[in-house]
Amino acid sequence: MTSKEFVATFHSELSEYCPCVIDWEGQVHECKDCHLDTLIQISGDEKYLNEVPENISPLFYLTAKLKCVLVDYENQIYSEDLSQEQRYALLDLSEAKLILLNPTDIKGKVTI
């Protein structure tokens, strides 16, 4: 769904919890169970888990492979770069007070 649709429909029992994943096109996917399951759903294929090198987190591997942003209330984790659509989605979530804007590259660089 779009970020505006997500903002309009998202409700959490926990006031400071907004688990979702933003794909490269800026679509927001709510995490019903966990970020990893949502990334697997976005990929459309569990085979990506077989590609994960031993020394890398499956969560971070899929984040980089799919060019997604992992979102919770205080942090937004991505790899390499954000698309313009992802930036807009993050701003929409921040303006709706669903997140504290804090995008961080997996490698530790903070940007927006």
What is the spatial distance between Cα 112 and Cα 107, in angstroms, rounded to a whole number? 15
Q: What is the pLDDT of residue 111?
A: 52
Q: Identify whether 90 is part of a domain.
A: yes
Q: How many domains would you assign to the chain?
A: 1
| Residue given tokens 């169970």 in the structure block | 33
Strand residue runs (E) in 24-82: 28-30, 69-71, 76-78
Q: Within a domain: residue 65?
A: yes
Q: Which helix or strand (DSSP H or E) is residue 104 part of?
A: strand 103-105
State residue 99's pLDDT score: 92
pTM of the model: 0.88
For residue 39, tell me if it sits in a domain. yes
Domain presence at residue 111: no
110 domain residue, yes or no = no
Within a domain: 18: yes
42-54 pLDDT, tens digit per residue, is 998 878 788 888 8
In the chain, the percentage of residues whose pLDDT exceeds 90 is: 59
* Cβ proximity of 102 and 110 under 8 Å: yes
What is the residue range of 90's domain? 3-105
Q: What residues pair up with 28 in beta bridges, in sequence order?
A: 22
Would residue 85 count as lying in a domain?
A: yes
Is a pLDDT exceeding 60 seen at residue 14?
Answer: no
Whether residue 112 is contained in a domain is answered as: no
